[in-house]
């Protein structure tokens, strides 16, 4: 999200890695790790009859990670089940599904096999969604998963979300460039003639952000970045965000467009902000703290000087948020009045970090954060200073 003011400054953010939705005039919200590939988690088979493995995120709106059950037994099916778990944890989803399928086929009445197969199908859907948008294959996978585990509300919610997305984008016009797949309502002639221009703008931003981050989200065979433009009603229906939202990033860049001619100029800044979130995710993974994610995305917007002046005014004289409150999506703060201040503080903090200690430090925070090192620790190891009190003192002019 970006600073307050005109729509140019609006950016909606969903839960990027940390995200949820929010409000406010300038919010950016990212639908949670809707499309994050699951991360590895160790499975520790223990004694009979069944043992839960550790949790991992499956992804999707409110889709929570579920363990799969290992069986301690010498029988062939148990061995097959446990081999499937090993494959699942290794990310070999097709092999895991085939093995769980075999178990389930042999003993369809055995709940553990049905549930494990459902989990594997759900993880497959999350992985496929990285490549396919909107994801018809995901509907097939999740429908089957839900049949196998009808009490999995998380799967039901993700399935419903993807169905809504499919319905909404059914007649969308799609065009691509080197790094982007752009989609928008094919009935909208105003956008129809601007598609190529928007793609060129996106490509320009991509090159600049690639230089800044030293990383490329579309490298190494990864899918192009999806950018979908919606009518405001459709955007709201899909994201749950209201008029205040200028855009959202949840693995897909989603932007509401009302009057395209009037909004096109502001759209450029929104696209850049949301694209920055894609780079942040590529470099830092899905658990980048909200203040760092939003601070950086705002800092990389056009009009930095004006945005910074507004942000400094916004937090002037106000008590700073402890950073631990700004770890998740800034949009999830309970008091809507706090959201703009949280975005403002994040921008001012990232600007201070970049200006005083160098952009390299902020990029290190992202890269090391991926390995679980908190930003404050990266800051301390680099500067021998404590992040929060040092920032507070700098802000107070001490």
What is the binding site for Zn ion (CB under 5 A)?
Answer: 1, 13, 28, 294, 297
The length of the chain in residues reads 398
The CB-of-212 to Zn ion minimum distance in angstroms stands at: 16
β-strand pairing of 28-29 with 247-249: parallel
Looking at the Cβ atoms of 14 and 120, the one nearer to Zn ion is 14
Given phi > 0 = left and psi -120 to 50 = alpha, else beta, which region is 24?
left
Q: How far is the CB of 59 from Zn ion (least distance, A)?
A: 19
Sequence-distant (6+) residues with CB within 8 A of 98 are none
Write down the least CB distance from residue 181 to Zn ion, Å. 20
Q: 237 near 168, Cβ under 8 Å?
A: yes
Least spacing, CB of residue 297 vs Zn ion, in Å: 4
Comparing CB distances to Zn ion, the nearer of 9 and 85 is: 9
Q: How many helices (H) and strands (E) does the chain have?
A: 15, 8
Tokens in use for 165? 């997305």
Report in angstroms how near the CB of residue 376 gets to Zn ion at its nearest: 21
Smallest gap, in angstroms, from Cβ of residue 277 to Zn ion? 6
- In angstroms, rounded to a whole number, what is the distance separating the alpha carbons of residues 302 and 224? 23
Bridge partners (DSSP) of residue 248 are 29, 254
Task: Indicate the residue among 28 and 288 with the shorter CB distance to Zn ion.
Answer: 28
* 53/346 with CB nearer Zn ion: 346
Nearer to Zn ion, 128 or 253 (CB): 253
Instruction: Tell me the three state secondary structure of residue 129.
Output: helix
Closer residue to Zn ion in complex, CB, 45/217: 217
How many CA atoms lie less than 13 Å away from 263 in the CB half-sphere?
21
Query: In sequence order, which ranges of 130-259 are alpha helices (DSSP H)?
Result: 136-148, 153-168, 189-192, 195-213, 232-239
Nearer to Zn ion, 1 or 288 (CB): 1
Determine the 3-state secondary structure of 85 from DSSP. helix
Residues facing 228 on adjacent strands: 183, 254
CB 241, min distance to Zn ion, A: 12
């Amino acid at each position: 999200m970006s600073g307050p003011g005109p729509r140019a400054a609006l950016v909606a953010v969903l839960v990027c890695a940390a995200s949820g939705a929010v409000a406010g005039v300038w919010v950016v919200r990212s639908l949670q790790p809707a499309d994050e590939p699951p991360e590895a988690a160790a499975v520790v088979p223990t004694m009979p009859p069944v043992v839960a493995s550790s949790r991992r995120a499956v992804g999707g709106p409110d889709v929570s990670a579920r363990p799969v059950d290992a069986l301690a037994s010498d029988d062939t099916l148990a061995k097959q089940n446990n081999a499937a778990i090993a494959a699942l944890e290794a990310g070999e989803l097709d092999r895991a599904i085939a093995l769980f399928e075999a178990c389930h086929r042999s003993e369809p009445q055995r709940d553990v096999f049905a549930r494990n197969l459902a989990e594997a199908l759900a993880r497959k859907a999350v992985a496929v969604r990285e490549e396919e948008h909107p994801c018809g294959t995901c509907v097939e996978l999740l429908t089957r998963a839900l049949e196998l585990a009808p009490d999995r509300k998380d799967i039901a919610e993700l399935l419903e979300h993807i169905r809504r997305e499919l319905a909404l984008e059914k007649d969308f016009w799609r065009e691509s460039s080197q790094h982007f797949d752009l989609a928008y309502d094919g009935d909208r002639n105003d956008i129809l003639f601007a598609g190529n221009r928007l793609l060129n703008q996106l490509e320009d931003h991509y090159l600049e952000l690639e230089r800044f981050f030293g990383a490329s989200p579309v490298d190494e065979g990864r899918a192009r970045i999806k950018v979908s433009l919606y009518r405001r009603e459709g955007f709201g229906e899909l994201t749950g965000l209201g008029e205040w939202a200028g855009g959202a990033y949840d693995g897909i860049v989603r932007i509401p467009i009302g009057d395209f001619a009037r909004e096109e100029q502001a759209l450029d800044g929104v696209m850049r902000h949301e694209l920055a979130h894609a780079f942040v995710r590529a470099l830092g993974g899905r658990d980048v703290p909200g203040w760092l994610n939003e601070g950086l995305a705002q800092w990389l917007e056009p009009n930095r000087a004006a945005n910074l002046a507004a942000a400094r005014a916004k937090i002037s004289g106000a008590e700073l948020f402890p950073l631990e409150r700004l770890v998740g999506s800034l949009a999830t703060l309970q008091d809507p009045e706090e959201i703009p201040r949280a975005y403002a503080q994040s921008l001012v903090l990232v600007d201070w970090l970049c200006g005083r200690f160098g952009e390299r430090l902020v990029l290190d925070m992202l890269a090391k954060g991926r390995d679980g090192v908190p930003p404050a620790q990266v800051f301390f190891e680099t500067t021998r200073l404590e992040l929060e009190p040092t920032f507070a003192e700098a802000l107070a002019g001490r």
